[in-house]
């Protein structure tokens, strides 16, 4: 089995990580994923996001943070040719370990309804589908 290294995501990883996200199905990107905003996110949430590296190239990522009460996973992605090798689970476990060390005892994530592959990954990894919640969003520029 090829050797993979899991390490903390750094601001300097942005372009390679963003390129991976852009090529991936199931990842929803927006202006919140700009370089400046990801850098700010990593500064506010140090040691919670990780990359998987193989032969010097980033092949998997997890973007994770918390608000002081709950953890949130925003992007988990593993390149197609490196799936089914446990990388996604390793990335998630690393982020959850770090959340726990910071006193965060529960984590949430968002999966697009149409992302069947992602939904199956999370359900098969022991996560619970919450059918009692609805996500609502509003741009801050449209304050009433």
% of the chain with per-residue pLDDT over 90: 90
Res 25: pLDDT: 84
Other Cβ atoms less than 10 A from the Cβ of 18: the count is 16
pTM to 2 decimal places: 0.93
**pLDDT of 144 above 60:** no
88-142 pLDDT tens trace = 999 999 999 999 999 999 999 999 999 999 999 999 999 999 999 999 998 887 6
For 31-43, write each residue's pLDDT tens digit: 999 999 999 999 9
Domain-by-domain residue ranges, the chain? 5-142
Provide the pLDDT for residue 2: 61
Q: In this structure, are residues 26 and 115 in contact, taking their beta carbons and an 8 Å threshold?
A: yes
Residue 56 has pLDDT above 70, yes or no: yes
The mean per-residue pLDDT over the stretch 60-81 comes to: 97
Q: Which fold has domain 5-142?
A: Aminopeptidase (3.40.630)
Largest CA distance in the chain: 55
- Rounded distance between C-alpha atoms, residue 4 and residue 72, angstroms: 24
């Amino acid at each position: 089995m090829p050797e993979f290294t899991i390490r903390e995501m750094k601001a300097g990883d942005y372009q390679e990580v963003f390129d991976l996200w852009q090529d991936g199905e199931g990842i929803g990107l927006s202006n919140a994923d700009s370089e400046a905003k990801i850098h700010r996110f990593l500064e506010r949430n140090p040691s919670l996001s990780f990359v998987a590296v193989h032969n010097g190239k980033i092949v998997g990522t997890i973007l994770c943070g918390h608000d002081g009460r709950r953890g949130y996973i925003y992007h988990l992605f593993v390149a197609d040719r490196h799936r089914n090798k446990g990388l996604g689970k390793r990335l998630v476990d690393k982020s959850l370990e770090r959340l726990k060390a910071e006193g965060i005892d529960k984590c949430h994530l968002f999966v697009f309804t149409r992302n069947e592959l992602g939904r199956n990954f999370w359900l098969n990894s022991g996560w619970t589908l919450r059918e009692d919640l609805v996500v609502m969003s509003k741009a801050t520029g449209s304050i009433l």
